[in-house]
Amino acid sequence: EMQLVESGGGLVQPGGSLRLSCAASGFIFSNYYMGWVRQAPGKGLEWLTNINKDGSGKSCVDSVKGRFTISRDNTKNSLYLQMNSLRAEDTAVYYCARIDWSLDLWYFDYWGQGTLVTVSS
């Protein structure tokens, strides 16, 4: 059974850092692009960043550029999100999601259950 399990969320002070992990199982992780999406409390969904199969290509939304970095370790079937210089507005549930990609078209076909990040003093 396919699973994506996020971890690493918690309470962090403004200006602090946090590293989220997403453990993948049930599929060949290295065959897929992956991404992160977040959802602030009571709000909608916001795409953050994607990474290609071998980690050599990344893209991210302007609001987190320079602060958040996506990475992956295909030997560990794991996806990561390094978050630095955290702000109160980064408080959200963070989802990792698998990407189905073909013909330059893509979508998120499976999502993890999410991990909550709270930025507060």
Partner 1 sequence: DIVMTQSTLSLPVTPGEPASISCRSSQSLLHSSGYNHLDWYLQKPGQSPQLLIYLGSYRASGVPDRFSGSGSGTDFTLKISRVEADDVGVYYCMQALQTPTFGQGTRLEIK
Q: Pick the closer one to partner 1 by CB: 44 or 66.
A: 44
Q: Is 55 left (phi over 0), alpha (psi -120 to 50) or beta?
A: left
CB of 94 to partner 1, least distance (A): 11
CB of 113 to partner 1, least distance (A): 5
Nearest to 94 by CA among 105, 102, 103, 86: 86
The b/e string for 67-82 (b: 16+ C-beta within 10 A; e otherwise) is ebbbebeeeebbbbbe
Alpha-carbon span 78 to 89, nearest angstrom: 26
CB of 75 to partner 1, least distance (A): 26
Q: Pick the closer one to partner 1 by CB: 31 or 103.
A: 103
Q: Pick the closer one to partner 1 by CB: 16 or 111.
A: 111
Residues binding partner 1 (CB under 8 A): 37, 44-47, 59, 61-62, 95, 100, 103-114
